[in-house]
Structure 1
Amino acid sequence: MKRTLVMLCFISLLLTGCWDNKEVQDINYITALGVDYKDGQYIVYVQMLDFATAAKQQDSKQTDQAPIWVGRGKGSTLAGALIDLYTTNQQRMSWGHVTALVLSEAVLDPERLSQVFDLTNRSQEIRYTKWIYGTKDNMEDLFSVSPFFQLSPLHSLLHEPKESYAQFSFIRPIQFVNFIRQYREKAATVVLPSLHITNQNWSENLKQHPILEVNGGFLIKHKKLMGWLSRSDLLGLRWLATQATSASIVVQSDEGVAGSIRLGDPQSSIDVIHKGEEVSYQIHLKATGTVQTMYSQVSIQEMKRLTEKALQKEMFNTFLKAASLNADPYGLSLQLYRTHPNLWRNLAEQKEEINDETPLKLNIDVNLRYWGQRKNLNR
């Protein structure tokens, strides 16, 4: 009997346990990382959330605002800025829950951006699937903005941009892995969504409530920042982004506003037409439209024509605005590079890939389905 007890005690010493396990409240969880550059110094911002509070919000309605902590570190290098941040850390920090990376305009310089890539790519905790943004706003203010109804900041545009884009598409959110792929592509122009704080649209108990929005995008062509365009200047880009695009447009006639159409399921292709060194492009776009409102008496065919005209105007505006910066968000030169690499190389050497004189033709076809019954409608 004694021998059995001794053996059991000895075996129990060999068993692994959870003695080094950490409770949720004993770890500081970083959910967003921001990088700025001013006066020769890198400034790192981190957003830290209380996951215990976030878990409680799943079970019951919270009456208090979920706490948001924002950390700040500064240094001559990005690593030095992180070390400065760690010096005041009170508990172990976990980077495994970072879902957003925000970069200031000053960091979009190729040399500085390479430090950001080196830091995030070498980390064993930070994932490649995080959302990436640019911004012109103060980073600390950006990370302190809270969503509606005292919800966790994890339910904001910063961390969950897909739901907002699916309902009403403006500038497509991009994940870090896709940004890297396009950023390093010779002939590609990547559009980095820019975050902005606005307090013009929403109020809480008669007090203006700041909220996040995507107000434009930074255009980066083969690692070089070409410029920034506003959301209204980039509206045409959404129709070539993905078939999941869904948005409404206002249709104009000679007499004024004819109605509004909700468009979805866009399908596009790009043709490259060249004669010697002369190159032109043709974009084919098909989309399905649903009439939402009508303000004037028009036929189905007329509404279809007006819708296609509105789409054409929107897409040409984006093309010309971007081409004035020698940027190519539609990926026209990328298509040329894939089909005629030698011709693309010659044009690239002459810096004549894409400009505001590049010939572009749009072939747009809108199928107005689900028309429904309308009174006083000419058929």
Structure 2
Amino acid sequence: MTKLYRKVILVLLSLGLLTGCWDGKTIEHMLYVSGLGIGYENEELVVYARFIELENVGKQEGGGGPSEDKPIWIAKGTGKTFDIATDDLYYTSQLPISWAHLGEIVITTEALKQDGIINEVMDVLNRYSETRSEVILHATKEELPLVAQGRPILGTSTWYSKVNNPYPVFRQFSLVRPITSRQYLIDQEEPGKVLDIPMLSLDKSKWQRGEEPHPTVEFGGSAFVYKGKFKGSLPVEEERGIRWMQEESQRVPLYLFNSKKDYASIVFTSPSVDITPEIKGEEVTVSVDVKVKGSIIENPFYQDEKTLEKDAEEEIKKQIKDTYKYALEKNIDVYQFAYHVYKKHPEKFKELGIEDKDWLKPETFENLNVQVSIVSSGKLKINK
């Protein structure tokens, strides 16, 4: 009996050691930030934090109603610096706040115009142990509370929205490549490299839920930043040339209109881009070669392959040149020609002081060659 008694005592003592952490917290006892909006008002930073409702993250299987019926919870903080503004959220928070699930940041152009603010934000994100390095960056011209009204569709969580995860839509319809906080920190150190931050706007006309308008966030152009300074922005219609100049583009549609009865649609994938700067004395010129392969999506007037290739080449050239012209009016190095000068002629880059002056001219972009190859006509022959 004595041995049995001792074994029982040992078992009871060992169970006492397995009771877990005394200060452990269950997931429902935390608040999880999924997105941040950063603005600038009355000489202070304003931060809007959007929180995840955990029941909306997983797949909904009956009960509770669709997530669009649930309100979006947003808290506002203000302060002289980004850290003070985020700490301001703690004064009214009812539970501890977790930053480990921060997925995206939207910063207003008004905030970007304040020199150094975006670098201040990146510094905090890079230092703080909870935040990840793959936070998606966006800019906007709209008021942040309005952007926050944009809702995902079909009951999906904001966690899986285009704002938090833009890559699936970018692979299907490539406009401006997404940028993360990690990529920003890397690229801002490169001489001559202008950062292109996708912009968001709010659309209230294209989607509806039942008979009610359903506001959604849409791509609204780009904001350009160099060394933490805002260089300007371009709307969507003025920056279509960027799609052909970024090798990350995976699927780019092109619509051809030669006359009222003569048109076609072609989808191109993964452009190959070669940028070659040349220096003669103090004059710098840049030549660009672009190669793309495409598949015909629409050809109702049975244009032949050579005609379509020629028309596509001319239209792509026009889009690339037009974007350069619009950007040049705002002194934006939209195709990062200065960075290519630095990579291929670093000594001349410093000698000519290219980093510190507006050196781009219309004639700087000297030569542009576009080569189009149609590799597929879909399920039909090209003339059928």
TM-score by length of 1: 0.91
1:26 corresponds to which of 10, 25, 29: 29
Q: State how far apart, in whole Å, the 1-side matches of 2:268 and 2:12 are.
A: 71
More divergent stretch after superposition (105-114 vs 298-307): 105-114
Deviations 1:227-273 (A, max 9, x none): 11001111111122234421211113266642111111211111122
1:298 corresponds to which of 286, 303, 325: 303
Aligned 8 A contact 1:33 1:102 in 2 = yes
In structure 1, the partner of 2:93 is 89
Is 1:140 matched up with 2:138? no
Aligned 8 A contact 1:247 1:263 in 2 = yes
Q: State how far apart, in whole Å, the 2-side matches of 1:374 and 1:39 are.
A: 61
In structure 1, the partner of 2:339 is 334
Is 1:235 matched up with 2:240? yes
Q: State how far apart, in whole Å, the 2-side matches of 1:162 and 1:317 are.
A: 26
Aligned 8 A contact 1:324 1:356 in 2 = no
Is 1:163 matched up with 2:168? yes
1:37 corresponds to which of 37, 40, 58: 40
More divergent stretch after superposition (72-81 vs 194-203): 72-81
- 5 Å matches for 1:169-318? 169-253=174-258, 257-318=262-323
Aligned 8 A contact 1:73 1:83 in 2 = yes
The CA RMSD measured in Å over matched residues stands at 2.2
Note closer, same or farther for the CA distance 1:329–1:359 as it changes in structure 2 (3 Å cut).
closer
Q: State how far apart, in whole Å, the 2-side matches of 1:275 and 1:251 are.
A: 38
Gaps of 5+ in 2: none
Note closer, same or farther for the CA distance 1:159–1:196 as it changes in structure 2 (3 Å cut).
same
Q: State how far apart, in whole Å, the 2-side matches of 1:268 and 1:305 are.
A: 18
Q: What SS does the aligned partner of 1:186 have?
A: coil
Deviations 1:197-231 (A, max 9, x none): 11121122122211001111111123321111001
Q: State how far apart, in whole Å, the 1-side matches of 2:148 and 2:38 are.
A: 12
Aligned 8 A contact 1:247 1:264 in 2 = yes
Deviation at 1:152, TM superposition (A): 0.9
The letter of the residue matching 1:105 is T
2:55 corresponds to which of 52, 61, 64: 52
Is 1:373 matched up with 2:378? no
Aligned 8 A contact 1:145 1:211 in 2 = yes
Q: State how far apart, in whole Å, the 2-side matches of 1:291 and 1:125 are.
A: 47
Note closer, same or farther for the CA distance 1:132–1:4 as it changes in structure 2 (3 Å cut).
same
Deviation at 1:44, TM superposition (A): 1.0
Q: State how far apart, in whole Å, the 1-side matches of 2:12 and 2:234 are.
A: 71
Note closer, same or farther for the CA distance 1:352–1:342 as it changes in structure 2 (3 Å cut).
farther
Aligned 8 A contact 2:39 2:45 in 1 = yes
Q: What SS does the aligned partner of 1:319 have?
A: helix
In structure 2, the partner of 1:364 is 370
Gaps of 5+ in 1: none
Aligned 8 A contact 1:103 1:134 in 2 = yes
Note closer, same or farther for the CA distance 1:187–1:252 as it changes in structure 2 (3 Å cut).
same
Q: State how far apart, in whole Å, the 2-side matches of 1:248 and 1:62 are.
A: 40
Q: State how far apart, in whole Å, the 2-side matches of 1:249 and 1:353 are.
A: 32
Is 1:98 matched up with 2:102? yes
More divergent stretch after superposition (150-159 vs 305-314): 150-159
TM-score by length of 2: 0.90
Q: State how far apart, in whole Å, the 1-side matches of 2:208 and 2:331 are.
A: 40
Deviation at 1:275, TM superposition (A): 2.1
Q: State how far apart, in whole Å, the 1-side matches of 2:261 and 2:349 are.
A: 43
Aligned 8 A contact 2:103 2:134 in 1 = yes
1:351 corresponds to which of 330, 343, 357: 357
Deviations 1:22-75 (A, max 9, x none): 222211111011211111111111000111332252x45874324421110112
Deviation at 1:186, TM superposition (A): 2.1
